[in-house]
Amino acid sequence: MPNPSLHNLAEGVDKLPLAEDLRTVLGPKHVRTELGERMAYAYDATGEKHLPDVVAFPGSPEEVASCLRLARRYRTPVVVRGAGTNLSGGTVPIRGGLVLNLLRMDRILSIDPLRRRAVVEPGITNGRLNQHLRPLGLQFAPDPSSMAVCTIGGNIAENAGGPHCLKYGVTTGHVVALQVATAQGELVELTDDDLYDLRGLVIGSEGTLGVVTRATLRLTPVPAAARTLLAVYDDLYAAGRSVSGIIAAGIIPAALELMDHENLVLTRQAGYGAFPEQAEAALIIEVDGDPEDLDDEITAIEAICRQEGAVAVQAAETEAERAEIWRGRRANFGVLAQSSPFVWTQDVTVPRHRLPEMLQEVAEIGRRFGLKIATVAHAGDGNLHPTIPFNPRNTMERERVRKADHAVVAACLRLGGSITGEHGVGLDKLPGMVQMFSASQLVLMARVRRAFDPEGLLNPGKLLPSPKGGF
């Protein structure tokens, strides 16, 4: 496993001048330097580990700004963190420094049902916000699988997706305005009406352009009705073709998810009875809207699935059955992660009609490198998560995983795709950035980064590769 850095393991970091100054600003109990506390912020959902020097828990936008000014004075790297559920190593403090934990800033400041707006602090979880919105018949639409625990600030930093983004779009379409603390420690307001969409730049910037301290969100009415189908296949590619067929027929369901054999078996074994164990693949297809409209769509979708070779198409009859299907789907990453000491998750996205080809490529790469690859996909968006369970202590296996990763990324790019659809680049996908972008494209992004953060203190070493002598 990666090593915690040794330079900052020593006791006595509580005498760090930065920590002392932070204590003056935030109060002693909101600044932690004990080893145990720092250990807790050394990693995220990916498993890479590196110790920060100090962890601070600011309670307001002004305090965040103060923390950034202090970090700048001491030229200390800053990594912002919510729940740490990201799947790309984005919140691992690889250069030590200051971790800003925003979980104390978890208030809903206002909800305006008439104008469909909510103003929230970044530390509130997606799940809790949606609990508050439900009784009003409203929702914040992005629904990453970790929505019960992940924060809105994290959703914004990663431009998070989720199953229902097929119909509703990813996070950036649901954020109207942001208050951001800049690297210089100033608070600025960025809105989608600005001449330059700096709001759109900050969304998905993985903590490299500023710290979101407040967000104005666009709310969506909860659909009047929803129906969910589970289509079962004894051929993975038939499932892939069904996805393309549904889109080509001009139907955009609310969600269109694919699970392959490995996933189905593991999910079933974890106790989710709705999923078949024998099948090669299953599609979860959900339509929503006015109840009067859903029958037509369900009929059309079912016909396409059967025509492409579905062996069974079951509709969830009750809300409980429907919820069970989604619980199983959301549990997927956890189930996979428990099945092995370590999992490598990809997030490749291809143009939608390339999905069947991409599924074939992944299967072929798995065979070539002797690896078991389990794939789950937000299939309607062409977004796949091939996931490889492996043992990181086995260096040979580790090398094969690295090569397979490179091959999957190359295949996705050959098909006109993107190396990441929703998980972000973080640390894990830095090699893919070089595969995907030309030097001049990377230089342009680096120039934009430097415009926001001239000293390179915001989440350094993430998102953009830094070649020798380069940016």
- Interaction residues for another protein, span 75-114 (CB under 8 A): 114
The site string for another protein over 158-197 (x = CB under 8 A, - otherwise) reads: xx-x---xx--xx-xx--x-----x-----x---xxxxxx
Give the nearer residue to another protein in terms of CB position, either 393 or 450. 450
Site residues for another protein, window 419-438 (CB under 8 A)?
419-425, 429, 432-433, 436-437
Give the nearer residue to another protein in terms of CB position, either 91 or 420. 420
Closest distance of CB 215 from another protein, Å: 15
Instruction: Judge residue 124's burial from the number of C-beta atoms within 10 Å of its C-beta, 0-12 exposed, 13-18 middle, 19 or more buried.
Output: buried
Which residue has tokens 């609310």? Answer: 254
Closest distance of CB 221 from another protein, Å: 7
Closest distance of CB 451 from another protein, Å: 4
Secondary element (H or E) of residue 265:
helix 261-269
Question: What does the angle CA 203 – CA 204 – CA 208 come to, to the nearest 5 degrees?
Answer: 95
For residues 470 and 456, is the Cβ–Cβ distance under 8 A?
no
What are 283's two structure tokens? Answer: 């599609």
Q: How many residues in the shown chain lie near another protein by CB under 8 A?
A: 78
Instruction: Name the pairing type of β-strands 98-101 and 54-56.
Output: parallel
Site residues for another protein, window 376-405 (CB under 8 A)?
378, 381-383
The site string for another protein over 192-221 (x = CB under 8 A, - otherwise) reads: xxxxxxx-xx-xxx---x-----------x
For residues 201 and 295, is the Cβ–Cβ distance under 8 A?
no
Instruction: Name the pairing type of β-strands 78-81 and 31-32.
Output: unpaired
Instruction: Considering only the stretches 21-29, 271-279, 307-315, 417-425, report the one whose residues sit in contact with another protein under the rule CB under 8 A.
Output: 417-425
What are 114's two structure tokens? Answer: 């008439």
Closest distance of CB 186 from another protein, Å: 9
The site string for another protein over 236-255 (x = CB under 8 A, - otherwise) reads: --------x--xx-xxx---
The residue within the footprint of another protein, chosen from 7, 73, 107, 115 (CB under 8 A), is 115
Give the nearer residue to another protein in terms of CB position, either 17 or 291. 291
β-sheet with 117-120: strand ranges across: 108-112, 117-120, 211-218, 175-181, 187-191
Applying CB under 8 A, does 155 fall inside the site for another protein?
no
Site residues for another protein, window 289-308 (CB under 8 A)?
290, 292-293, 296
DSSP 421: S
Beta bridge partners of 282: 232, 259
Number of H helices, E strands in the chain: 16, 18
Closest distance of CB 232 from another protein, Å: 24
Site residues for another protein, window 316-355 (CB under 8 A)?
349-354
The residue within the footprint of another protein, chosen from 402, 444, 455, 466 (CB under 8 A), is 444
Site residues for another protein, window 10-39 (CB under 8 A)?
none
Give dist(CA 286, CA 383) in Å, integer.
17
Give the nearer residue to another protein in terms of CB position, either 30 or 352. 352
Give dist(CA 42, CA 48) in Å, integer.
8
For residues 215 and 82, is the Cβ–Cβ distance under 8 A?
no
